[in-house]
Chains A and B, each alone.
Chain A
Amino acid sequence: MAAGVFLPGGVLTSGRVLQTSKNKLKFRAVGGLPQGAFPSYASYVVEGTIDLKTHSGVATKNVFAGPPEAMSTIALPGLSRTIRITEVEDSGSVLRVKGVVDDRSQLRQGESPLVDITIDSGRDMASSSFLNSEVSLKLE
């Protein structure tokens, strides 16, 4: 069996995504911001728990000062989001997660409350948007 594959019934094997019980998965993914030519100034952390049976769960997004290799515990104000997971699509080693930010006070003006998170356990990668820019994250 290849590492990092979601099997029917929600069984997943990957060192980067923890299966905390039969149907529950825990993940944490980190990426540097900005991405591209400049060195990272901050770290984008997306983490959560997913119930593969009920296709529900909770995730959070935070931006911490410092690059991933020297991330601080200082969350930049105004950038934390709590996401209620509403949909989980399981296709092989990739989970496509949709959610919503119920607390609209967390959102910036014009920011959509709808959130997409892709978890690719085969590549130990994840992705999600930050201010409408898709950010690549590394599963931890």
Chain B
Amino acid sequence: MDARVDITDVYAFAAQEEDDEEEFSRTALVLNVNPLTLASAFDPDAIYEVLVDTDADATPDITFKTRFSTVGSNGRQRATVVRAVGADANSRDFSGKVIIKNAPVSFGREERIAERKDFKFFAGVRSDPFFFDLLGFLAGFKFTGSDFFADKNVFGTVLEVPNSALGTNPDIGVWSRVLIPAKDLETPGNGELVQIDRMGRPAINTVFNHGADKVTFNTIEPSGDRTTVTTTGKTFLANFEDVLGSFGYDAGSAENIAKILLPDILTFNFNSNAGFLNGRKLTDDVIDIELNLVTKGAVTTDGVGPHTDLLDEFPYLGRPHGIGEKDEQD
């Protein structure tokens, strides 16, 4: 997959003001792409979306869509964000009301933040907040104590919104997706936009789906997560139950857990900052929680913890590694 449109993680958390710790009036929505920063810019042909389900039917009711300009001869790229509601929320186009216009993309160390009315927006290269002993996982749970992502960067988009922009029901579902023109697929299609990647909770597709089913999972909508048939001839839900069963869960428990994990949506009550499974904060040890859950307690931790380079204030994501660090020291 083109790294520009390859989602690494999505986060949703209460954006608390320091002097207002009991109030939860704003939410930060973070969508990170471009693992290992293999690409040098966002894809100007793509639409990067954070979708919000306000009535628990696994379809979007409010969608924040971001589109980027081409990179100019001056090396600059700009972003525009719209908020779409109703039918536009799932329209697979850039319809919606503009909330951020021509925001600069930060390719350097310092964050360039755009603000308009009650919205704040950032896009650019950042330290990857994800933490995981990937090598230990690849070695078959022989954890090394080393966080593979500690020195890695990603491209982040951070949108901070007033909770009123998320609807009136505080119990929402959040996920992300990236749409690209079908002509850009390996097997080109027509001019329509197609979903190339999506993510709700972390690592769900990674942990549960094999081979071609991973690709399928990326292209379907959460409303089809339980019923879509996979290459095994079973549904994704049944496959998830099989994986859970292989770790010792009885059939009833496996079904119950699989139904929590599917549809793959980050459930979030925006009046709480409890953290994963309520939304996802940048410091939540989601891998420990998921490993513990999936393996029925056989694996409880990968032994690594949150990054220390996060910012206390918007855009929250830490400054990028290896970019302008010398200038900062000087």
Contact = CB atoms under 8 A, between A and B. Distances in A.
Interface of A: 33-42, 63, 65, 67, 69-70, 72, 74, 76-77, 79, 108, 130-133
Interface of B: 1, 3, 35-36, 38, 134-142, 144, 146, 148, 206-212, 214-215, 243, 246-247
A137 to B, nearest CB: 14
A33 B138 contact: yes
Given A37-B246, A70-B215, A77-B36, A130 B139 contact: yes
A77 to B, nearest CB: 7
B20 to A, nearest CB: 41
Contacts of B209: 39
A56 to B, nearest CB: 29
A41 B206 contact: yes
B211 A67 contact: yes
Contacts of B137: 34, 41
Given A37-B246, A70-B214, A77-B36, A133 B140 contact: yes
B273 to A, nearest CB: 31
B247 A37 contact: yes
30 contacts: A34-B138, A34-B140, A34-B141, A35-B140, A36-B140, A37-B247, A39-B206, A39-B207, A39-B210, A41-B206, A42-B138, A65-B35, A69-B211, A70-B214, A70-B215, A72-B1, A74-B36, A76-B134, A77-B36, A79-B135, A108-B144, A130-B138, A130-B139, A131-B135, A131-B138, A131-B139, A131-B144, A133-B139, A133-B140, A133-B142
A63 B243 CA distance: 25
Nearest to A69: B211
Main secondary structure of the interface of A (DSSP, over half): loop
A70 B205 CA distance: 14
Given A34-B137, A74-B36, A131-B135, A39 B214 contact: yes
B208 A39 contact: yes
Contact of B212 (A35, A69, A74): A69
Contacts of B210: 39-40, 67
A72 B148 CA distance: 19
Contacts of B148: 76
A72 B135 CA distance: 18
A131 B142 contact: yes
Nearest to B215: A70
B138 A37 contact: no
Given A37-B247, A132-B142, 17 more contacts: A34-B141, A39-B206, A39-B208, A39-B214, A41-B138, A65-B35, A69-B212, A70-B212, A70-B214, A72-B1, A74-B38, A76-B134, A76-B148, A79-B135, A131-B138, A132-B139, A133-B139
A111 to B, nearest CB: 10
A32 to B, nearest CB: 9
